[in-house]
Amino acid sequence: MGAVRIAIVIIIAGIAAIGLAFLAQSMMAPKTPVAVVAPPPPPKPMAQVLIAKRDLPIGLRLTAADLTWQAWPLDALNANFITDGAAPEASASGAGKIAQDAGRATSNLVMGASPIQAFEGAIVKEAIAKGEPIMARKIARAGQTGYLAVVLQPGMRAMAVPVTSETGAGGFILPGDRVDVLQARTPEGGKGFVTETLMQNVRVLAIDQTTESKEAKSVVGATATLEIPAQDMEVLARGKAQGEMILALRSYADVGGRTGRGNGSSGNETVRISRGGETTEVTVR
């Protein structure tokens, strides 16, 4: 029995030695570094910014289809951008203040309406590229400074003429309509009267300060602002000096004709001819 116990002790000692050897080897072996996965950064706060949905050239009248919303990093926000007013708060940096300033500026600009609705019908003063944020300085809305200068077509001028309900088709002439300008006056001899078409197919830019005719059935004003070719300004100026003028409303089906001076203002002049004591007047070109 003593020999068996001795053998068992030897076996146990051998196993223990082998285990210690493996333990020592594992302790002496270089440790493999454990990869530390960094937590993902928190999402950047974003604001919704009004941008151009397509290239917007100078003089374009905006519609809702020209504008859209785009997510914009709050730290890249400009206080002049038009936002939806729901920009998240950004602590510690100045981005939060810029977002608040942009929201207040937008509210003051649109005055209760949604930004897209507020800019419908406005005119582009400076070209805006696709995807570029909309800024108030590049857009002229009705009643704002520079609006009429943008609405005018190249080579045209805006001139105002006095009107009444009688000379303005009872108030049914609205901004955007086309009219002929007539004048009936007494000739120099004082006999009878002469009727001339001073201008034909000219666009009405405004009635008084009204430049849009949304939902308006009639506008009675004291002044009509007309779009006149630059070379015909003197015709209208001379007509204003000669007396009252009448605006004749044209049909929408009849707006494709020539715009400019009428058949009574094409450079014709009246010449008096005296024969045998009698004086007659003829019109010559």
Read off φ and ψ for residue 48, nearest 5 degrees: -95, 120
Q: How much is the pTM?
A: 0.57
**Domain covering 46-140, topology:** Type Iii Antifreeze Protein Isoform Hplc 12 (3.90.1210)
Domain ranges of the chain: 46-140, 152-284
Q: Which residues pair with 159 in a beta bridge?
A: 226
Residues of the chain with pLDDT under 50: 91-92, 266-271, 284-285
Residue 233: count other Cβ atoms within 10 Å of its Cβ: 13
pLDDT digits (tens, 9 = 90+) for 159-177: 999 998 888 888 889 888 9
CA angle 4–5–6, rounded 5-degree value: 90
* Encoded tokens for 55: 């290239």
Average pLDDT for the chain: 78
pLDDT digits (tens, 9 = 90+) for 28-51: 666 666 677 778 777 778 888 999
